[in-house]
């Protein structure tokens, strides 16, 4: 049996503040660090031993991975970072409060921006600091590949080649791999693995720092998938993610 564990990073500062984050490089909260450590303990208790790990260029994912590997005492395994595992670029929404945005534009529109397959927010301008072309960490990435905004479809188009050409083939050489990334880059991978229709993808909300295990047979065919941890707690965390795009405006009498 072969296994790949997908793990969304722990709670970030902007998760806590309910802001659109995207490619903005924000840190973990103390709660997010604790979540990462709990994920490490869950994986340790289940006896996971990884041959290699993958993560994005963003510190909330990198630091989550570091804490998990430390809890597993597997800090020594090779780690590969790729901008292709970065979160969906939320364009001009990055930095805005999700609830305030929902109050202004409507919850339905915010849901489309957050969870639909084809709807992208407005792009950032070329001189906007949120444009990744102005960020030194992407200096070696061709400008045409760097998004100014993205839909989930575009995020999948960025992430899936890395999955198909780099991550998944390495499962032939290792019994288990760990991929620590972001809600939308991982949603795209899950959509591909489970063949979720475009119209149903809005219903998939990945909780922070809950290991999502995918098991494959020796021919690398998917045979099972499941979350590690208490089902009620996981369901509550998923519901909390779904509620982030709700307006907090007071009800009219």
Cβ(222)–Cβ(214) below 8 Å = yes
> Which among 11, 35, 38, 87 is annotated as catalytic?
87
User: Is 87 a known active-site residue?
Assistant: yes
Is 9 a catalytic site residue? yes
Q: Which residues contact 196 (CB under 8 A, 6 or more apart)?
A: 190, 204
Q: Which residues are catalytic?
A: 9, 87
């Amino acid at each position: 049996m072969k296994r790949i564990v997908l793990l969304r990073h722990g709670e970030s500062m902007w998760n806590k503040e309910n802001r659109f984050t995207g490619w903005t490089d924000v840190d973990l909260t103390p709660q997010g660090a604790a979540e990462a450590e709990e994920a490490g303990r869950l994986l340790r208790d289940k006896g996971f031993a990884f041959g290699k790990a993958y993560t994005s260029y963003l510190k909330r994912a990198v630091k989550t991975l570091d804490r998990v590997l430390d809890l597993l005492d597997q800090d020594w395994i090779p780690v590969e970072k790729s901008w292709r595992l970065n979160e969906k670029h939320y364009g001009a929404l990055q930095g805005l409060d999700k609830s305030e945005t929902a109050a202004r534009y409507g919850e339905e529109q915010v849901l489309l921006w957050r969870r639909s397959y084809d709807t992208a927010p407005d792009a950032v301008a070329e001189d906007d600091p949120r444009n990744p072309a102005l960020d030194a960490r992407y200096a070696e990435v061709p400008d045409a590949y760097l998004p100014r905004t993205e839909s989930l479809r575009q995020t999948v188009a960025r992430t899936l080649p890395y999955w198909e050409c780099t991550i998944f083939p390495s499962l032939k050489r290792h019994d288990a791999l760990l991929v620590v990334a972001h809600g939308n880059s991982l949603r795209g991978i899950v959509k591909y693995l489970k063949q979720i229709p475009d119209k149903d993808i809005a219903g998939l909300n990945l909780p922070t720092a809950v290991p999502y295990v995918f098991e494959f047979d020796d021919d690398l065919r998917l045979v099972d998938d499941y979350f590690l941890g208490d089902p009620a707690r996981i369901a509550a965390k998923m519901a909390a993610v779904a509620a982030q795009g709700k307006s907090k405006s007071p009800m009219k009498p």
